[in-house]
């Protein structure tokens, strides 16, 4: 499946640039259903491998492009909340499928594994059909000279259909300027991601995703039954205790949805990594101090080479508690922010390519990069075009950037007016309504 994800991510940029964000995501849903159908009907290991590879293609496309689509549609003051909802959906998926798999384990024969793999098609079917009700990304529409549709979408998502709302006009003008600027420059390519003016953003975008995976969260998600088996839990007691962390993951992610746009991006990453470090070291210290090598066959047949805490019940409870606290630290911080931050970093011409999950071999370049969180500029409370301006401003100092939540909320609500819109309306003989007409009727000059 990771191999399929790698390939799917690489082609997702070309796919979304050709079909649009909306149709590319619907295509990914279809691919998922095909892979799942092959898997749940398997009669050989080879068929399982093919089905999982196809599933991976879908994951590569969707994980790369859904954050881009959501970020380009969301209001700036709610962008973190809306993109973070993807991570919340992931936590729900993990929780639901764990309990479905647990329940299916009581079935006899192949139904025990065919049923879960078949049921996983349901979310993809729902996603495919519900996307017919959603609009295309306004920035993709603008990039393809469909300006009236772009204006329509901006009015729909930012002003309840009011085409002349000040924030809608400001956003459209910023998108227009960005499209014109990018057309005056050469077309996007992978090479540009590694040029001097873009390498910093490529670097932080990549390592945000990489370190999110290397925090140890995947170990806690995928192999938690092994960890709890070392702590002396077995059978249903182990499975039920393991499921608690999935509940914690769902509940604690809600904090990010409520406050991530006010907290910003930098602070959650710093706080989350600190707390996770503490609980990981605590687990290691407890196991070293109170544990011993497992006997032949492992603890409760969990693993041949493992660690045994079954003779130290208090220490075992400490490991379980620290594991829960680790998950509770990840859920509102690195979990959602690793999805929110990367699509905010890049200009329109590179956004779909940047989110294609660049090869994991780059991990070797990021030793000690956890400290570089201090160098991440703050992107919360800014439009995507404002983020681009921030990065292209000489002398950028990450620690001098801050969350501009209140300012952008006032812009969205029309309480204050942007300088760009004021300049547009100040043109001789141009009224407010005429400026709105001008926004929809003028096609950018190449």
CATH code where residue 294 lies: 1.20.1250.20
Q: Are residues 211 and 318 in the same domain?
A: yes
- Residues of the chain scoring pLDDT < 50: 355-356, 358-371, 428-446
pLDDT value for 423: 56
Q: Which of 298, 321, 342 lies at the terminal end of a domain, its last residue? A: 342
**Total of domains in the chain:** 2
Q: Are residues 179 and 206 in the same domain?
A: no
Q: Which of 307, 342, 377 lies at the terminal end of a domain, its last residue? A: 342
For the stretch 264-318, pLDDT in tens is: 888 888 888 889 989 988 988 888 888 777 666 655 555 555 677 777 888 888 9
pLDDT value for 232: 76
Q: Are residues 174 and 270 in the same domain?
A: no
DSSP annotation of 114 reads H
In a domain, 125, yes or no: no
Six-digit token string for 275: 């707390």
Q: Are residues 93 and 234 in the same domain?
A: yes
In a domain, 274, yes or no: yes
pTM of the prediction? 0.73
The pairs formed by 215-220 with CB atoms below 8 angstroms and a separation of 24 or more are 215/273, 215/276, 215/330, 215/334, 216/276, 216/280, 216/326, 217/326, 217/327, 217/330, 217/334, 217/335, 220/245, 220/323, 220/326, 220/327
Return the percentage of the chain with pLDDT > 90, whole number. Answer: 29
Return the percentage of the chain with pLDDT > 70, whole number. Answer: 79
In a domain, 355, yes or no: no
List Cα–Cα distances, 384 to 160, 286, 298, in angstroms. Answer: 20, 45, 52
Parent domain of 279: 78-107+196-342
Q: Which of 326, 342, 358 lies at the terminal end of a domain, its last residue? A: 342
Q: Are residues 100 and 151 in the same domain?
A: no
Q: Are residues 230 and 88 in the same domain?
A: yes
- Compute the distance between CA of residue 87 and CA of residue 85 in angstroms, rounded to an integer: 5
- Compute the distance between CA of residue 119 and CA of residue 132 in angstroms, rounded to an integer: 22
Residue with tokens 């995501």: 25
pLDDT value for 135: 93
Q: Are residues 163 and 252 in the same domain?
A: no
Q: Are 443 and 147 in contact (CB under 8 A)?
A: yes
Q: Are residues 83 and 207 in the same domain?
A: yes
In a domain, 239, yes or no: yes
In a domain, 262, yes or no: yes
The pairs formed by 71-74 with CB atoms below 8 angstroms and a separation of 24 or more are 71/340, 71/343, 71/344, 71/384, 72/21, 72/137, 72/138, 72/139, 72/140, 72/343, 72/351, 72/384, 73/135, 73/137, 73/138, 73/153, 73/157, 74/157
In a domain, 55, yes or no: no
Q: Are residues 268 and 291 in the same domain?
A: yes
Q: Are 306 and 230 in contact (CB under 8 A)?
A: yes
DSSP annotation of 294 reads P
In a domain, 395, yes or no: no
DSSP annotation of 375 reads G
Rg of the Cα atoms in the chain: 24
Q: Are residues 167 and 218 in the same domain?
A: no
In terms of Cα–Cα distance, which of 204, 230, 337 is closest to 276?
Answer: 337
Q: Are residues 97 and 176 in the same domain?
A: no
The beta strands (E) that lie in 134-253 are given as: none
Q: Are residues 158 and 82 in the same domain?
A: no
In a domain, 116, yes or no: no
pLDDT value for 350: 61
């Amino acid at each position: 499946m990771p191999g399929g994800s790698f390939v799917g991510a690489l082609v997702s940029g070309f796919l979304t640039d050709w079909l649009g964000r909306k149709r590319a995501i619907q295509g990914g849903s279809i691919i998922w259903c095909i892979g799942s159908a092959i898997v749940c009907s398997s009669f050989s290991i080879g068929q399982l491998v093919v089905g999982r590879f196809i599933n991976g293609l879908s994951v590569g496309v969707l994980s790369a492009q859904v954050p881009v689509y959501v970020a380009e549609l969301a209001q700036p003051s709610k962008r973190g909340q809306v993109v973070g909802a993807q991570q919340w959906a992931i936590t729900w998926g993990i929780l639901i499928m764990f309990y479905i798999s647990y329940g299916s384990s009581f079935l006899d024969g192949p139904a025990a594994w065919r049923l879960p793999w078949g049921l996983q098609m349901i979310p993809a079917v729902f996603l495919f059909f519900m996307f017919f009700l959603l609009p295309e990304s306004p920035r993709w529409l603008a990039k393809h000279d469909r300006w009236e549709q772009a204006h329509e979408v901006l009015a729909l998502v930012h002003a309840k259909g009011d085409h002349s709302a000040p924030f809608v006009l400001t956003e459209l003008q910023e998108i227009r300027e960005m499209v014109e600027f990018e057309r005056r420059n050469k077309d996007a390519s992978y090479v540009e991601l590694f040029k001097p003016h873009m390498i910093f953003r490529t670097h932080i975008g990549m390592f945000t995703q990489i370190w999110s995976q290397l925090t140890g969260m995947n170990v806690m998600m995928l192999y938690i039954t092994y960890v709890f088996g070392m702590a002396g839990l077995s059978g249903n007691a182990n499975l039920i205790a393991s499921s608690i962390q999935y509940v914690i993951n769902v509940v604690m992610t809600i904090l990010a949805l409520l406050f991530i746009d006010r907290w910003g991006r930098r602070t959650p990453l710093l706080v989350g990594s600190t707390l996770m470090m503490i609980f990981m070291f605590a687990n290691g210290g407890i196991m070293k101090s109170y544990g011993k090598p497992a006997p032949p066959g492992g603890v409760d047949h969990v693993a041949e080479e493992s660690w045994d805490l079954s003779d130290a019940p208090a220490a075992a409870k400490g490991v379980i508690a620290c594991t829960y606290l680790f998950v509770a630290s990840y859920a509102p911080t690195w979990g959602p922010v690793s999805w929110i931050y990367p699509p905010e970093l890049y200009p329109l011409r590179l956004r779909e390519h940047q989110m294609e999950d660049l090869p994991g071999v780059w991990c070797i370049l990021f030793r000690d990069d956890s400290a570089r969180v201090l160098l991440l500029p703050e992107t919360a409370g800014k439009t995507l075009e404002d983020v681009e301006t921030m990065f292209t401003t000489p002398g950028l100092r990450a620690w001098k950037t801050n969350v501009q939540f209140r300012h952008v909320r006032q812009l969205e609500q029309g309480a204050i007016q942007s300088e760009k819109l004021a300049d547009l309306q100040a043109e001789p003989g141009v009224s407010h309504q005429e400026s709105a007409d001008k926004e929809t009727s003028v096609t950018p000059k190449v």
